Chains A and B, each alone.
Chain A
Amino acid sequence: MASRVTIKDYLFESRLFMQRSVQALIFAALLLSVLIGRLVHLQVVAHEHYITLSDDNRIKILPLPPNRGLVFDRNGVILADNLPSYRLEITPEQIPDIEATLDALGELLTIRDIDRKRFDKLRARTPAFKPVPLRFHLSDDEVARFAIDRHRYPGVDIVAGLSRHYPHGPLAAHALGYVGRVDERDLQRIDASNYSGTTHIGKVGVEKTYENVLHGNVGYRQVETNAEGRVLRTLVRTPPSPGKNLYLTLDIELQNATEQAFGDRAGAAIAIEPITGEVLAFVSKPTYDPNLFVNGIDTETYNALRDDDKQPLFNRALRGQYPPGSTFKPFVALGGLEQGITSEHAHTYCPGYYQLPGKARKYRDWKRSGHGSVDLNDAIAQSCDVYFYDLALSMGIDRLHTFLSPFGFGERTGIDISGELPGLMPSREWKRGARSQPWFPGETLITGIGQGFVLTTPIQLASATATLSVYGQRMKPHIVASTQIGDDIELVPVGSELIIDLPIEKRENWDAVIHSMREVVHGKRGTARKIGLDSKFEIAGKTGTAQVFGLKQEEKYDAEKLEEKLRDHSLFVAFAPVVDPQIAVAVIVENGGSGSAVAAPIARQILDNYLKKDEPS
């Protein structure tokens, strides 16, 4: 050790250290004087202020929850409202024997087991000085009864609040969603202090997606309370800022007409305004009453909904993934034209089946006797399968995938309701990844008629149809049109978003496909000619029938023999008027059978309802 210190200048170092120690001491003294200054401020200058805050009385900080924004349809019809309601709250800290108090309250008011269980749960995670709700939605009678006895229950209060109400009940429930009580899962993802006065939070649908907009910001007041905990006066009050109102793009009258048209069939329908992407109707049937969920649904009702065969809680419009069937054909046809693989007037002979070269397996047409020689127009109008087997094989899966993906097949549309599923647009890469198998030519054939691996959601199908109708301008579908900071204040539009403007090789190709879709409805041999007979406007459409149940080679499909849930899905996509389209729709009726029979008439009712409004009456 001695050798280490020899080269050092001892005197210099010890002087340096002394100097630095004094500097450090000065630094400490400076900080200490800041602290003392602060203490003098708190304890001498502002002493009076703080003594009033603490003197005998106690200070409480009470949250003031913001009012949740309202939801309207595009015409200002209210869809989600706040109604006044009373709830009973208990501040555990102020009650010596909670169990006894609860029992006593139980004789005065109705307190169910579920209420007590929830109370215990909430209490466990709330500081003792904060009130915990015991009952919601007290009746006027109960409020009056408690008011008389109130002096006997210190620490128990009736609090007036607002409760969410959906005046239209089940109508548009899958779009609107509902609010429910804040639970542990919600607590993980929200700012707890902003929700400290809030009892409800958006759980699904627009209520969930726009939670941040609808909720607003919490306010608070510092209050002085007496020993019993009753508020004596408010010291500081910061008002909450209420949530914004939402104006949806939905037309509730159209929505209603569509849901009526479904009757008690299960399925989904979407109507979109093609040039903006605004969703005019968002139907998933069957539906449910969202009011049931607002204040806690009872187990029995919930189980009944959950176990219902037709799955009323399932959002088919967003999450139902169906094979598009023949509604896929116009898009495949357009691909064939745009990529120069076929031309409008090229003919294919349809003997009623198709065989891959050198293979025995017959890919059948829905019409066993065949369509004879068909061109593109006939093939779409009559929904010839063989034409599309042939076209798909010429295109190959790669080109099919490249052309169809930009229409949004196989990806989420990005609609502003959460929970959407992407569907599936198969490709070689997908199959190698997902199935570890190469792609087989037969799979290309059935992709051409919208069967096989292809899956689409109703919202996707509607969006793709809308995109086709306006020559490739793909708008993002959205359901919220504008927000409003307060009642009677100007609306702030959310705006439409162009996802992609598809390249057009030749406008005539698009004209040809749209013309053939017009023939589906208005042509002599169109598959949906029934709905075109008395129409006041021109409709372009395409029927589809999606197989749920695979048949053996020589078996014949017989709807009567099959159980209902194995019957084909019935699909129809359409837009109208053909020139300058105002509305595009996709309708899927689960197990409805053929597209022309069930889905097309529903689509016609949607179009009628919407377009008749534009006519001067």
Chain B
Amino acid sequence: MSTLLDSSREDASRRDWQHILHLDAALMFSLAALSILGLFVLYSSAGSDDQLVLRQCIRLGIAFGAMVIVAQLPTQWLERWTPWLYGLGITLLIAVLAVGDVGKGAQRWLDLGFVRFQPSEMMKLAVPMMVAWYLSDKRLPPSGSRLLIAGALIVVPVLLIARQPDLGTSLLIGSAGFFALFLAGLSWKFLGGLAVLSGAGAPVLWHFMHDYQRQRVITFLNPEQDPLGAGYHIIQSKIAIGSGGLFGKGWLNGTQAHLEFLPERSTDFIFAVLGEEFGLFGIGVLLIMYSFIIIRSLYIATQAQDTYSRILGGSLAMTFFIYIIVNTGMVTGLLPVVGLPLPLVSYGGTSMVTLMAGFGILMSIQTHRKLLPT
């Protein structure tokens, strides 16, 4: 379909099946391997529940399907539709706050009659796309006023989602936007200023808080102060990981996971199950797979031919990293508890589809190359 645009530089070897199908073999096989590892862990954490694993397989199938479909869309096409997608997303977010369904105590779902839909998921892609679209318009690095507008493009959906309240997703979207800015050349001076500002702001905020609010922050930062409440998960998940040792207790032999009451052990806390049953070795394998995917994604971004694709691709790669570091940091007790799944391992559907669609974009960037406008 894009013969005319294909560079004459490109040799025949690049016209292989990857380019015809618009897929990236390295990414695809590492994602598939990761998913299979995830299914094994899930089978154990779910107490050998075939049905649950089957459902996860179906979700994985849908997610991979979404990836393949998105990979077929040329980046120019994505770029053209970016503002519309972003605008639609913002509208839907406002609609959710106004009329959304309450699931698990938070408004996230929009019932369209035939399908229930979570607009915040869409924004995981739309926000980095929009920032990339806006910044690629002019010379990089962006000037002060353009930075402000780009900042607003990020902050508005982040606040809307935080209101739902869905702190995990709003954190992800915030970092997706941040990395887009960073990769576009956000100056270190500005970054330093931001750090100093938030460092100085914290004690002031602290000063104005009520005692009970302070207590909440303390519990939030140090859950082990509250071993019967918020700290319970963390204590149990640390015991699970720590008792796994170097090589773990073996598949299906994790006593913490099977006997102990670790809520969310198939979803947000599944990393603890992996750590208990496969030990540091198993975690090492998982982290190597993740690292490979991140490096490959960043590589694709650096090889992209236009600014839009570059910023978008790099931002998606770094968002994937944030997913991993926030989840593992939370399960190992390094970070406060924020509800984010371990990508492609945790049980759950919607966020997986979005994640894989993001990899679809990366594959599209890699395979829809065009003539350089020199």
Binding site for B on A (CB under 8 A): 1-2, 4-9, 12-14, 16-18, 20-21, 23-25, 28, 31-32, 34-36, 38-40, 42-44, 46-47, 49-51, 53-56, 58-59, 61, 63, 127-129, 192-193, 196, 218, 220, 222
Contacts and interface: CB of A to CB of B under 8 A. Distances in A.
Interface in B213-230: 226-229
A55 B362 CA distance: 45
Nearest to B290: A32
Nearest to A192: B229
Contacts of A63: 228
B76 A1 contact: yes
Nearest to A42: B242
A20 B242 contact: no
B366 interface: no
B334 A35 contact: yes
A196 B228 contact: yes
Given A21-B298, A31-B321, A54-B242, 5 more contacts: A14-B302, A35-B334, A50-B243, A54-B240, A129-B261
The interface size bin for chain B is: 35 or more
Contacts of A6: 373
Contacts of A14: 302, 310
Q: Which of A31, A42, A55: most chain B Cβ within 10 A?
A: A42
Contacts of B143: none
A128 B260 CA distance: 11
A23 B179 CA distance: 11
A17 B259 contact: no
Contacts of B246: 43-44, 47
Contacts of B325: 28, 31-32, 35
A42 B256 CA distance: 15
Contacts of B235: 59, 61
B241 interface: yes
A50 B310 CA distance: 45
B226 A32 contact: no
Interface string B292-323: 00110010011000110011001000100100
A54 B314 contact: no
B323 to A, nearest CB: 12
B349 interface: no
B53 to A, nearest CB: 24
B245 A51 contact: yes
Interface of B: 76, 79, 136-141, 179, 182-185, 226-229, 232, 235-236, 238-246, 255-256, 259-261, 275, 279-280, 283, 287, 291, 294-295, 298, 301-302, 306-307, 310-311, 314, 318, 321, 325, 328-329, 332-334, 373
A423 B12 CA distance: 94
A17 B311 CA distance: 8
Given A36-B287, A39-B283, A47-B245, A59 B141 contact: no
A341 B321 CA distance: 83
Contacts of A47: 242-243, 245-246
B236 to A, nearest CB: 8
B227 A17 contact: no
B373 A5 contact: yes
A4 B246 CA distance: 55
13 contacts: A13-B307, A17-B311, A18-B302, A20-B183, A28-B294, A43-B241, A44-B246, A50-B239, A53-B243, A54-B242, A54-B256, A59-B239, A61-B235
Contacts of A36: 287
Contacts of B280: 39-40, 43-44
A56 B314 CA distance: 46
A454 B261 CA distance: 61
Contacts of B333: 38
Contacts of B259: 58
Contacts of B242: 42-43, 46-47, 49-51, 53-54
Contact of A16 (B185, B232, B245, B279): B185
A193 B306 contact: no
B349 to A, nearest CB: 26
Nearest to A62: B228
B337 to A, nearest CB: 15
A86 B228 CA distance: 24
B184 to A, nearest CB: 8
Contacts of B140: 8, 12-13, 16
